Amino acid sequence: MSLNKPSLPTIDAIRKKTFAKLGRDPWQAKVAREILRAEKDVICVAPTGAGKTLTFWMPLLFREDGIQIVVTPLNILGTQSVAELELDIEDGKYRAIVINPELLMKEGGGFERLWKNQDFASRIISIIWDEAHCVSLWSAFRTEYRDAYRLRYLLPHVRFVLASATLPEEIQIEVMRILIM
């Protein structure tokens, strides 16, 4: 069974019907639409539990070969599984990749090789900086956050998404400076 992928105008029509019916605008659809347009970086600030994570995954419904990379401050992978996962990622086994900045930016690591793989790099929809305020607040002691700007040069076509429940203007400006947004 194959699914028909809705177009961007269809997303807008669904959003408008939802608003007319429920009196609320599904803002997640707007964010997903902007991510898919890939014209500019996206900033998503919403309270914890409001549905920010949904905006990370929705674009995968519209690009069958697309990959979303979510950078999280959590250390979620054991080192013994990293090399195996990097090979699986390169082979296209995963479309949603959740990773910490240390593994993402590791010099000589598997991701450095992936960034140079044009087939892989062309499939990246966006790089999402979950808990984006950490890019600024933690860059002094987690230098991979500070050095993340290098991705702009390695992947100039890829849009960044900042996602956070707490992103005051001064922190947002600093994050944008660090990531060259």
Domain count, the chain: 1
In a domain, 14, yes or no: no
pLDDT digits (tens, 9 = 90+) for 107-119: 887 788 899 999 9
In a domain, 12, yes or no: no
| H helix or E strand, kind and range, residue 129 | strand 124-130
In a domain, 74, yes or no: yes
8 Å CB contact between 124 and 159: no
Residue 81 is predicted with a pLDDT of 59
Long-range CB contacts (within 8 A, 24+) of 44-47 = 44/161, 44/162, 44/163, 44/164, 45/162, 45/163, 45/164, 45/165, 45/167, 46/165, 47/165
In a domain, 33, yes or no: no
Q: How far is residue 45's CA from residue 22's CA, in Å, rounded to a whole number?
A: 22
Boundaries of domain holding 135: 38-178
Cα four-point dihedral sign 157, 32, 52, 114: negative
In a domain, 68, yes or no: yes
Listing from the earlier edge strand, what are the strands of the sheet with 159-164? Answer: 42-45, 159-164, 124-130, 67-71, 96-99
In a domain, 161, yes or no: yes
Per-residue pLDDT, averaged over 15-43, amounts to 81
Phi, psi at 42, each rounded to 5°: -125, 140
| 28 against 81, higher pLDDT | 28
In a domain, 32, yes or no: no
In a domain, 119, yes or no: yes
8 Å CB contact between 68 and 56: yes
Indicate the pTM of the whole model: 0.83
pLDDT digits (tens, 9 = 90+) for 40-89: 999 999 999 888 998 999 899 889 899 999 999 987 654 545 667 777 88
CATH number for the domain including 124? 3.40.50.300
Q: What is the DSSP letter of 89?
A: H
Per-residue pLDDT, averaged over 157-166, amounts to 96
